[in-house]
Amino acid sequence: MKKTTTTRYDVAEHLRTPKEMAAYLEACIEEADGDAAFIAKALGDIARAKGMTQVARDAGLSRESLYKALSGERSPGFDTILKVVNALGLKLHAEALHG
């Protein structure tokens, strides 16, 4: 019997266009159920796809603090989230749930 070799799936390798990145973030926000660390991790995936060094520079953060903020182990401040979203070239928007 042949041995099956598997590799770890990395979503960042599949986020190639701004449209794919936005769709991924939108899906993660819908799935997060209020978990800010989950959303931060999704932003981290997108940042890795774009290049952490460039995103950190554009967000005005050090690379190390960006990795920590987007690790998914803690919830970064909203100001950090806004800086990162802007650096990624994305936009947050609000939508009414009911009428």
Question: Angle formed by the axes of helices 52-59 and 78-87, to 10°?
Answer: 120
pLDDT digits (tens, 9 = 90+) for 54-83: 999 999 999 999 999 999 898 899 999 999
pLDDT bracket for residue 3 (50, 70, 90): confident
Q: How many CA atoms lie within 13 A of 38 on its CB side?
A: 12
Closest CA to 28 of 44, 17, 51: 44
pLDDT digits (tens, 9 = 90+) for 6-44: 878 889 999 999 999 999 999 999 999 989 999 999 999
Angle, alpha carbons 22-27-31 (nearest 5°): 145
Domain coordinates in residue numbering, the chain:
42-91
**Distance between CA 47 and CA 74 in Å, rounded?**
17
pLDDT confidence of residue 97: 83
Mean pLDDT of 83-95: 92
Residue 1 has pLDDT above 80, yes or no: no
